[in-house]
Each structure stands twice: as C-alpha cells, then as structure tokens.
Amino acid sequence: MIGLTNIEKRFGDNLVLKGVTVSIDEGSVTALVGPSGGGKSTLLRCINLLEIPTSGTLRIGDETLEFRPGAKVPAADIQRVRLQTGMVFQNFQLFPHRTAIENVMEGLVTVLKWPQARARERAMALLEKVGMAHKADAWPATLSGGQQQRVAIARALAPSPRVLLCDEPTSALDPELAQEVVDVLGQLAREGTTMVMATHDLRLASKIAQEVVFLDAGSIVEKGPASIVFDNPERERTKRFIASLRQEEARKEGGGGGSGTISS
C-alpha cells in the first residue's frame, strides 16, 4: 500500500500541493485528474521523490519517510523509494543511445547488478508483454511514439516495482498511437499492477482506473470510485471539469486523427 499524508510542496513562494492525503491500495489503479497546474504531476513525482515534498509523510511498502521544511532526505532513503517505483513519462524519455532492449535492461544491470544474460531474458519477456519484442534491437529514434512509450513501460516495470507511476502517458501521442498504450496499460491493470496515473485522457482514465482523485489548485476536490466521480460527481467543480473533458474528447474524435495532445 502507498500512503501520502498531508503532502505539501512549495516551489519558492508557490504552494503547489496544499496538504494532500491519498492512499492507494495494492493492485488498484488510481487516476489523478484535474486542470493543468492543479498539482497532479507534482503529486505523482512526490511518490518517487523526483520532487521532495516540503512536508508530510510518504509510506510505500514498509518504508516510511517524514518530510520537514529544510530537512535533507538521505540519498539512501530516496534510492530505496525509487527502487519500489517505476515511472512512465509524457515524453517517453527512452535513453536514445541504447536500443529498446538495452533500455529495459539498464535498471537491472546498472542498479540491481543482474548478470547480462538474466537481464536480457527478463527484458525480452517484458518487451513481449508490451508487444515490442520484434523491435528489441531497434534504436528509440526509429520507433513511433506509441512504440517508444510501450518500451518505456517495459523499462519502468523491469525492476518489479510496487507501483507504476504514469505521468500523462498518452498526451504526447496521436489518438491511434495513444490507443496502443491504453491497451497495454489496461492489460497491466487487469493483471493486478498497482498504478497511479496523472492524465487528461478520459478514455485512459475511465477504461482502467478504479479510483479517481480530482485535484485543483493543489487540493483534492473530490475522490472516490471512478464510476461515481466520472458519471455522478458531487462537486460542481468536478462536474464542469468532466464536462469539458468530454467536450474535448468529442471534438478530437470529430476532428479525426488530429493531435491528441492537451498541453499540461
């Protein structure tokens, strides 16, 4: 289980997260939704400590970290948290100087010190899972965005993290390419992978998330089961936001094949 308690994040004078408390069950998929600048990306990045919370508590597995303003977090603690999380980025961020399979092997070989052969075997199995085994030896620059993102998912899963964090995994992709990524994430969800995703993509969120957290201006406006938040939200703010997403969705589908990117 992952628990975030009273997480505050301050960038200079700007309070981006105002005491957010969320708990994420093992095997569940949680979507963080909300307008741009609402804090969903920052919250996600506070889970693997790419951003260090200003204050609050992070619990992940049997690791509990307390944050206090000005207190430095030991590198070893950060490391232990990161080994329990995997992250998928909006812009894929594959290592361009490594082939697809080398990207997936990198964490196993460099961080976990696995022997090459064993790492290659696991990497191949993961590429198989995301439907990219046939491109194992391709350079990332030769792959489509959807293919790159699928390799990135395999890379994030390689060290068997407790949770897969996805930061707008489909927003840099055209609708058709987004679909192949949605399919892969959906399959992982069915297999019981714990996931937290920040997303604008209603199709992605409504298809695979059980829990939805609606964040606006650094606070949680509403949270609950996806069916309720999406179809029958309590708060006016949530209603308006969901309606605007649906409109966006309809416009995109009507437009046919245009860019699926909504800037974050």
Partner 1 sequence: MPHWLQLMLESLPTLLWAALIFTVPLTLLSFALGLMAGLVTALIRLFGPKPLVALVRFYVWIFRGTPLLVQLFLIFYGLPSVGILLDAFPAALIGFTLNIGAYTSEIIRAVIGSVPKGQWEASYSIGMTWSQAMRRTILPQAGRVAVPPLSNTFISLVKDTSLAAAITVPEMFQAAQRIVATTYEPLILYVEAAALYLAMSSVLSALQARLEVRLNRYGGFLEANA
Contact 173, 7 (CB under 8 A): no
Rounded CA-CA distance 106/117 in Å is 12
Binding mask 224-243 for partner 1 (x = CB under 8 A): --------------------
Is 11 near partner 1 (CB under 8 A)? no
Can you tell me which of 37, 96, 257, 258 binds partner 1, judged by CB under 8 A? 96
Q: Are 238 and 229 in contact (CB under 8 A)?
A: yes
Task: Give 163 or 229: the residue with its C-beta nearer to partner 1.
Answer: 163
Of the candidates 39, 40, 42, 82, which one interacts with partner 1 according to CB under 8 A?
82
Instruction: Label the pairing between strands 163-167 and 85-88.
Output: parallel
Give phi and psi for 233, each to the nearest 5: -70, 150
Residue of 23, 64, 79, 244 that binds partner 1 (CB under 8 A): 79
Name the residue among 48, 65, 43 with its Cα closest to residue 56. 65
Residues of this chain, 99-158, that bind partner 1 according to CB under 8 A = 106-107, 110-112, 139-142, 148, 155-156, 158
Residues numbered 35-54 forming contacts with partner 1, rule: CB under 8 A: 48, 50
The bridge status of strand 55-60 relative to strand 163-167 is: unpaired
- Where in 174-203 is the site for partner 1 (CB under 8 A)? none
**H helices within 75-200, ranges in order?**
75-83, 100-106, 116-129, 145-157, 175-190
Of the candidates 29, 94, 123, 209, which one interacts with partner 1 according to CB under 8 A? Answer: 94
Tell me which residues touch partner 1 (CB under 8 A).
48, 50, 75, 79, 82-83, 85-87, 89, 91-98, 106-107, 110-112, 139-142, 148, 155-156, 158-159, 172
